[in-house]
Amino acid sequence: MTRKKKHFTRLGFAAGALCVLSAAVVLAEADSPAQPEAPAVPAGKAIARMRELSKNDRWMGLIEEFENEDFSAWPEAAEAFHMRGVGYLHLKDAPKAERDLKEAVERDPEEGFFWYNLAETCHALLKDDARALDAYRKAFELEDNFGWMPAAAAVKAVNILLYQVRNDEALDILRRYRDEDMEKLPPYWRFHILRAYARTYAAQGREAEARVKFRQALIVESTV
């Protein structure tokens, strides 16, 4: 399946904590400019409305308006399921969040943000770290860049792996972030990645390397 090009607006992501219910991923534009205009169907207005509600973190309103909507026939069905799933994630409704986010990833398995929020649901609401880890890994692999989402997915996957004492696997995930690439990360995520490195080294008993990373993380954090 060819991956659709999408532009994301990232809103209000407060990361670092284990319980991450603040992930807000909003699809701003459905298709690339090169594609023809979508036909003026009612779903077009509806998806715009959903995007507006998502953008403003009005999750309760989104659920109230679209709770019973069947998105199956919508051109942007995957996006719609994703937005409603994120709404349920925010409202801590685990079964419905899982249902909609699973639907989203089934319809568009190449979209890392969908996997990310499914991972958040599995981790924070369903307490299913095995599935959360798989989904974080998927999200991380699909978004091969230095944006916030793969960084957040990496930090959270590392956290799960450290709790399972799978320390080498945790380090493998972090290898994307080489010393020379650290500047490419936004500072907020740079110190989180540095700290993930530090914790991984500490768990491996590599104290000297951990000490360096902990110190670097504190320095970067102080600038944020």
Partner 1 sequence: MRNELIKPIITAAVLCVAFSGCATRPLPLYAGTGKVDITPAQPVISAEGQSFRLPDNTPPEKRTPLGNVHDPLYARVVVLKNKNVSFAIVSADLMLFSSKRVIDEARKRWSIEHVILSATHTHSGMVPRGLCPTAGGWEWRSAEADPGELLNWPALSEDPWYAETEDKIIAAIGEAAGNLFPARLAAGKGTYESIYLGHNRRLIRPAHGVVPRSVITLWDNPTRMPTTPSDPTVGVIRIEDEARKPRAFMVHYACHPISMMGSSMITADFPGAMTDYIERQLGDSCMAMFLQGAAGDINPYETNMRGAYGLNMTRQAGIALAKAALGVSENLPSPEEPKAVVQVKESMLDIADREGNKSSAACVASVVINRDLALVAMPGEIFVQHQLNLSERSSIPNTFLLGIAYCGLGSPFLNYIPTAQAVEEGGYGATQFSFVAADAGDRMVDAAVAAIDELVGE
Catalog residues that contact partner 1 under the rule CB under 8 A. Answer: 162-165, 167, 195, 198, 202-205, 207, 210-211, 214-215, 217-218, 221
Alpha-carbon span 88 to 100, nearest angstrom: 9
Least spacing, CB of residue 216 vs partner 1, in Å: 11
**With respect to partner 1, which residue has the nearer C-beta, 33 or 205?**
205
Distance of alpha carbon 207 from alpha carbon 214, whole angstroms? 10
Q: How far is the CB of 94 from partner 1 (least distance, A)?
A: 23
- To the nearest whole angstrom, how small is the minimum distance from the Cβ of residue 118 to partner 1? 24
CB of 157 to partner 1, least distance (A): 14
Closer CB to partner 1, residue 52 or residue 207? 207
Query: Between residues 29 and 207, which has the closer beta carbon with respect to partner 1?
Result: 207
Minimum CB distance to partner 1, residue 163 (Å)? 4
How far the first Cα of the chain sits from its last, in Å, is 39
Q: Which residue's CB is nearer to partner 1, number 154 or number 210?
A: 210
The residue (of 32 and 164) whose beta carbon lies closer to partner 1 is: 164
Q: Give one DSSP letter per residue of the chain, joined into a string.
A: -PPPP-EEEEE----SSSS----EEEEEESS-TTSPPPP--HHHHHHHHHHHHHHTT-HHHHHHHHTT---TTSTTHHHHHHHHHHHHHHTT-HHHHHHHHHHHHHH-TT-HHHHHHHHHIIIIIS--HHHHHHHHHHHHHHS-SSSHHHHHHHHHHHHHHHHTT-HHHHHHHHTTS-GGGGGGS-HHHHHHHHHHHHHHHHHHT-HHHHHHHHHHHHHHHTT-
Instruction: Using the minimum distance from each CB to partner 1, give the nearer residue, 74 or 188.
Output: 188
